[in-house]
Amino acid sequence: MDLTLSPRERDLQERAASFARTQLFPNEMAIEEHGSLPGDILARLRKEVLAAGFNAINHSREHGGQGLSLFEQTLVNEQFGMATGGIGGVAWQPAIPLKEGTPEQLRRYLEPSCRGERTYCFAISEADAGSDPRQVKTTAVRLGSRYYLSGEKWFVTHGDIADFIMVHALVDGDPEKPTVFLVDKDRPGIRVKRVPKFMHNFMSEHPEYIFEKVELGEEDILGTVGGGLDLTKDWFVETRLKIAAHCVGAATRATEIANNYAAERVQFGKPIREFQGIEFMLADMVVEIMAAKSLLYRIAWQASQRPDRKLAHAYASAVKLQASEMAGRVIDKALQILGGRGYMRENPVERLYRDVRVDRIWEGTSEVQRVVIGSQIKKRGLGIYTGWIATDY
Ligand SMILES: Cc1cc2nc3c(=O)[nH]c(=O)nc-3n(C[C@H](O)[C@H](O)[C@H](O)COP(=O)(O)OP(=O)(O)OC[C@H]3O[C@@H](n4cnc5c(N)ncnc54)[C@H](O)[C@@H]3O)c2cc1C
């Protein structure tokens, strides 16, 4: 078993680290100051993304992406996850279900999205549909060959900078017909209800949307009528692995900052790292990161080698659960080591502390990940998680 990174993987990792250091870190505070990333900085960074070849790393070259494997994407996402305010999101990654589009949809949505000319957001959650997307009430009423979309969507990340919305709705209100619609934001009948503020300051907003009889056609359906839940699950697999990679990156950066500080900060006549109370925290932090990173790399590599929709869903939950809970614990300790300085917003550790809190909530809460894992154990046995590379579960 050879676990060394190939020269290509090491090069990718180094390029992503350099991009984070030179382009992302210097612009983090702009998000803190303005509440989101100012448009001129976003536009400039998007040009840098194209120049560095980090656009659409998750899509094939055929569609205009970089064609990176899931493992390679993970190496990049880990480095970008070190930056605060979700600023790594300037390197756009169009939603993976877009590749299921018709040739016309690929031309209208995916290909320009890969080039950075279009931006998506994905609207599933509603007031009464959070952990349980089956409770979605947004409905597309069918009249002949037309559909009329009505409902309300919450927490739509990137809603302010997107120009189209992937809306998860029920055709004719039928729970057996969950369907994803591609909805251009400038269609009549769409309006922003409000733009709430959240614990983190983020590169974009998370508005609430109202849809009132928005007219759509067959050509706006992604995949099939009734196929919406599978498409949404594909999106969850991708985003859960991405969140896990961000969490490993965030915990690593916080630990590096805490480690440097512990070496320099002198109290009671010696660097604080000489106190076992501090040294033990650092020891626990690195072991936690090592465990999460090992799991993340293994699952990302496995998914790259043997793509399997159901297994990917089962494993993505485990990785996301472990990495997001780990990041919360590790960054809390990093902040403690930094003392009062760790509580200052100008310190990246304070921002990482707020940033990673939502990683235990979005794309399925930690409890929902446990529900997925529990049901997989019942269905396939413990071995899916406690065994080694799955071939026969
Ligand atoms: C900043 C932010 C951005 C977001 N972006 C998007 C987006 O772009 N698109 C989108 O569609 N959604 C988005 N979301 C919504 C997010 O996915 C939901 O918040 C999340 O799925 C949880 O749903 P909920 O908030 O309604 O909580 P609820 O489902 O109401 O859960 C409340 C509590 O009950 C627990 N719970 C629920 N069911 C179970 C169970 N079976 N067993 C045990 N405990 C359970 C939960 O874990 C939680 O602790 C975003 C949320 C946030 C905060």
Mutation probe of ligand 1 site: the residue of 138, 161, 321, 361 with most atoms within 8 A of C-beta: 361
- Domain final residue, candidates 176, 196, 226: 226
Collect all residues with Cβ–Cβ distance below 8 Å to 330 and sequence separation of at least 6.
251, 254, 255, 285, 288, 289
Tell me the mean pLDDT in the region 202-213. 98
How many angstroms separate the CA atoms of 1 and 294, rounded? 14
Same domain, 248 and 353: yes
Q: What integer best gives the mean pLDDT of the chain?
A: 96
Q: Among residues 129, 130, 98, which one has the least CA distance to residue 111?
A: 98
69 found inside a domain: yes
Same domain, 167 and 99: no
In this structure, what CATH number is given to the domain that contains residue 11? Answer: 1.10.540.10
Same domain, 130 and 216: yes
Note the pLDDT of residue 325: 98
Same domain, 275 and 370: yes
Alpha carbon nearest to ligand 1 atom 12, residue: 125
Strand, coil or helix: what is 258?
A: helix
Tell me the mean pLDDT in the region 159-181. 97
Same domain, 239 and 208: no
- Domain final residue, candidates 168, 191, 226: 226
55 found inside a domain: yes
Q: Is the pLDDT of residue 392 over 60?
A: no
Q: Which residues are catalytic?
A: 363
Tell me the mean pLDDT in the region 293-314. 89
Cα(224) to ligand 1 centroid in Å equals 26
Ligand 1 atom at shortest distance from the alpha carbon of 131: 29
Cα(235) to ligand 1 centroid in Å equals 15
Cα(362) to ligand 1 centroid in Å equals 6
How many angstroms separate the CA atoms of 253 and 247, rounded? 10
Cα(364) to ligand 1 centroid in Å equals 6
Same domain, 53 and 69: yes
Ligand 1 atom at shortest distance from the alpha carbon of 129: 26
In this structure, what CATH number is given to the domain that contains residue 266? Answer: 1.20.140.10
Residue 311 binned pLDDT confidence (cut-offs 50, 70, 90): confident
CA 195 from chain centre, in angstroms, equals 20
325 found inside a domain: yes
Collect all residues with Cβ–Cβ distance below 8 Å to 198 and sequence separation of at least 6.
206, 358
Give the chain's domain count.
Answer: 3
Q: Cα Rg for the chain, rounded, in angstroms? A: 21
Ligand 1 atom at shortest distance from the alpha carbon of 358: 53
Alpha carbon nearest to ligand 1 atom 23, residue: 130
215 found inside a domain: yes
Q: Tell me which residue has tokens 């007031």.
A: 127
Token reading at 347: 């310190």
Tell me the mean pLDDT in the region 185-212. 98
Cα(291) to ligand 1 centroid in Å equals 26
pLDDT digits (tens, 9 = 90+) for 370-385: 999 999 999 999 999 9
Token reading at 364: 């399925």
Give me the percent of the chain exceeding a pLDDT of 70. 99
- Domain final residue, candidates 70, 100, 115: 115
Range of the domain at 264: 229-386
In this structure, what CATH number is given to the domain that contains residue 165? Answer: 2.40.110.10
Ligand 1 atom at shortest distance from the alpha carbon of 123: 11
Q: What is the DSSP string of 322-351?
A: HHHHHHHHHHHHHHHHHGGGGGSTTSHHHH
Tell me the mean pLDDT in the region 216-226. 97
Same domain, 196 and 167: yes
CB-based burial of residue 323 (10 Å sphere; 0-12 exposed, 13-18 middle, 19+ buried)? buried
CA 121 from chain centre, in angstroms, equals 12
Find the residues whose C-beta lies inside 6 A of ligand 1: 121-125, 130-131, 155-157, 198, 206, 358, 361-365, 367-368, 371
pTM over 0.95: yes
2 found inside a domain: no
